[in-house]
Amino acid sequence: MVQSPHGVKFESNRPVVMGRNGMVCAGHPLAAQAGMAILQKGGNAVDAAIATAAALNVVEPNMSGIGGDGYIMIYNKAQNKIDICNATGAAPYATDLARYQADGIPQKGILSVSVPGLLDGWLAAHEKYATSKLSELFAAAIDLADNGFPVSHVLSRVIAGDSLLCEFPTSQAIFAPGGKPPAPGQIIYQKNLAKTFQAIVAGGRDEFYQGKTAEAMVNFCQEQGGLLSMKDLADCRSRWEEPISTTYKGYSVYEAPPNSSGHVLLQELNIVEQFDLQSLGRSTAESIHMMVEAKKLAFIDREAFMADPDHTDVPILGLISKEYAKERAKLIDPDQASDPTHGDPRVFEGSSGGAGKVTAGSVQEEDTTCFVIVDRWGNAVCQLQSIQSSLGSSLVAGDTGILLNNRMTYWHLDPDHVDCLQPGKRVRHTMNPVMVFNGDGPASMGKAEGNGSLMLVCGTPGADTQVQTNMQVITHLIDFGMTVAEAVEAPRWRNSHSPTESNVPHTCDNLLHMESRFAPDVRQALESRGHQLNMMPDWGAQGSEMMIQVDSESGALQGAADPRRDGYAIGW
């Protein structure tokens, strides 16, 4: 019998949030409210996404902002089309591999800063799909920055744990005045960021990438010994991309193509589909073992083949082909953990029914944020944005109020590695937006258009945890019939396996990290299979999943936001 107050079949402490006209699930209640206000004024999902994104820059500064990067997945129902805006920046032109090889890539500070691409993505999405004025969409964020917002317990702890942020003058002035981190409930003001937002509303893209804001960021970076230049910013452009997809148990699952790691989720699902998860049981040692082994196989392939497709031929359709998954699944021993090697997906390039690869020239805890939106017309957005790790580089760029990223920490320094650091190259990203359709969904790379309806929009922050968490919640829904609230609250695991970690130094202990709510007999059975466990708290901060499910009969929206952080779902 379910003991928690909102559980239907399984445990759930929060209710499924219901709505008819629109829904926003975001990493902070004030940001979700900003997006919902736009929906209620008649804006569409993209309008609401920009408002939500800008507000998150203010109230969740540790996770994302215009000093970073992002991906925007948009479903246009009228056109039955999924469009992806890749808003990731490149390594600065002044990057010197030899310098980083000699000194290493710093986890924080000015030499960890990469070119910020996020804002160009917001503005590109606004130009292509939005219906509201930019001034309306930035209004809530400007108000929150100028007049302040109360610090959450989560943000208070994060700021207190970042010594560089609390000591560096321009950062300290905003986030820890006098060197004292804010207590929960204390008001933070970001008046310089409010002015920067106002300048962007007035001057558009040019203000940030070529104007006074650009000059201020570059001057700051140069004064601090950094690499960012005016040419880096002027040349930074987001791009529109076609999604990649696979099927899972009769559903179509869509992801972002490289340089996103979205293919990893599709590979995981393809491999897991070769086994009967339902008969293995939910959260049993048998089902967890199969999923962990599928994760390892997909990650070791990513390590060998995936990088910026402008610089590398990525055999994407081979990687996500069903025939390749069948071959890889044969390597899984149901009774023993493995240390796999990569396969040869190029052999399977033709088995997916489309063109062969993403060709060159074609168009650790990662503190990212994710939000999902569905509007009254059935349009949807799944957006991820990030400054890489918690509070990015910890440096606020002069008087701009912009907290700069530390994305350089994702690069490899081995010249023979597919994702080796190179000026003007985009690093491999872990951000991956997800949509799931009933039956045969919209067109994707190598796949013709179908007429299946939208079933799920979901995503999570968490670096290499992302594709693992997304696999877990999708199987919770499809294989075990959970509600979205039950799925986001279910006990969670993640696997770390050397040398496939995204963050430098890319090596790690081979561990299966598990929240302590998993049953003792499950843990023991996993250990007997050779998994080395690292037990975490009951709610061990494994991602922060956001989910909206669409009822195929009534069209009702059912939402849930992960309670592991400050996430909140609002329905209308």
Confidence band, pLDDT 50/70/90 cuts, at residue 360 = very low
Segment among 65-79, 177-191, 248-262, 529-543 with least mean pLDDT: 529-543
Inside any domain, residue 95: no
Confidence band, pLDDT 50/70/90 cuts, at residue 361 = very low
Inside any domain, residue 467: yes
So what's the pLDDT on residue 349?
86
Q: What is the CATH number of the domain that holds 264?
A: 1.10.246.130
Over range 30-53, report the average pLDDT.
Answer: 99
Tokens read off for 76: 């246009």
Tokens read off for 514: 């598990």
Over range 95-104, report the average pLDDT.
Answer: 97
Rounded-to-integer distance, Cα 449 and Cα 206, Å? 37
Tokens read off for 145: 């920055």
Q: What is the dihedral of CA 271, 277, 280, 283, to 10 degrees?
A: 100
Is pLDDT of 190 > 70? yes
Inside any domain, residue 453: yes
Inside any domain, residue 191: no
pLDDT tens digits for range 214-257: 999 999 999 999 999 999 999 999 999 999 999 999 999 999 99
Query: What's the pTM value of the predicted model, to 2 decimals?
Result: 0.95
So what's the pLDDT on residue 105?
96
From 52, 246, 312, 368, active-site residue: 368
Please state the φ and ψ torsions of residue 312, each to the nearest 5 degrees: -140, 135
Segment among 118-132, 256-270, 347-361 with least mean pLDDT: 347-361
Provide the residue type at 130 as one letter.
A
So what's the pLDDT on residue 363?
31
**Catalytic status, residue 131:** no
Rounded-to-integer distance, Cα 453 and Cα 252, Å? 10
How many domains are contained in the chain? 1
Tokens read off for 178: 């006098």
Look at the block and give the residue holding tokens 């199987």.
475
Rounded-to-integer distance, Cα 195 and Cα 374, Å? 30
Q: Are 37 and 49 in contact (CB under 8 A)?
A: no
Please state the φ and ψ torsions of residue 530, each to the nearest 5 degrees: 100, 5
Share of the chain above pLDDT 70, in %: 96
Inside any domain, residue 514: yes
So what's the pLDDT on residue 2?
61
Which range of 343-352, 382-391, 501-510 scores highest in mean pLDDT? It is 382-391
Look at the block and give the residue holding tokens 């009254």.
376
Confidence band, pLDDT 50/70/90 cuts, at residue 541 = low
Q: Are 305 and 332 in contact (CB under 8 A)?
A: no
| DSSP per-residue letters across 492-543 | -EEEE-TT--SSTT-----EEEEETTS-HHHHHHHHHTTPPEEEE-TT----
Q: How many residues are given for the chain?
A: 572
Inside any domain, residue 510: yes
Strand runs labelled E in 387-462? 434-438, 454-459
Inside any domain, residue 269: yes
Burial (Cβ within 10 Å: 0-12, 13-18, ≥19) of residue 287: buried
pLDDT tens digits for range 518-528: 999 999 999 99
So what's the pLDDT on residue 351?
54
Q: Helices 262-272 and 465-480: crossing angle, nearest 10°?
A: 40
Which residues 6+ apart lie within 8 Å of 330 measured at CB?
none
pLDDT tens digits for range 282-334: 999 999 999 999 999 999 999 999 999 999 999 999 999 999 999 999 999 99
Is pLDDT of 456 > 90? yes
Q: Are 394 and 171 in contact (CB under 8 A)?
A: yes
Which residues 6+ apart lie within 8 Å of 125 measured at CB?
46, 49, 50, 72, 74, 85
Q: Helices 29-40 and 45-59: crossing angle, nearest 10°?
A: 150
Domain region containing 336: 243-363+430-561
Tokens read off for 404: 């700069």
Enter the DSSP assignment of 107: S
* Helix/strand/coil percentages in the chain, nearest 5: 35, 20, 45
Rounded-to-integer distance, Cα 551 and Cα 534, Å? 38
Inside any domain, residue 263: yes
Supply angle C-alpha 268, 272, 277, rounded to 5: 140
Rounded-to-integer distance, Cα 496 and Cα 347, Å? 28
Tokens read off for 67: 């000093």
Q: What is the dihedral of CA 114, 497, 535, 294, to 10 degrees?
A: 110
If phi > 0 it is left, if psi is from -120 to 50 it is alpha, else beta; for residue 46 that is alpha
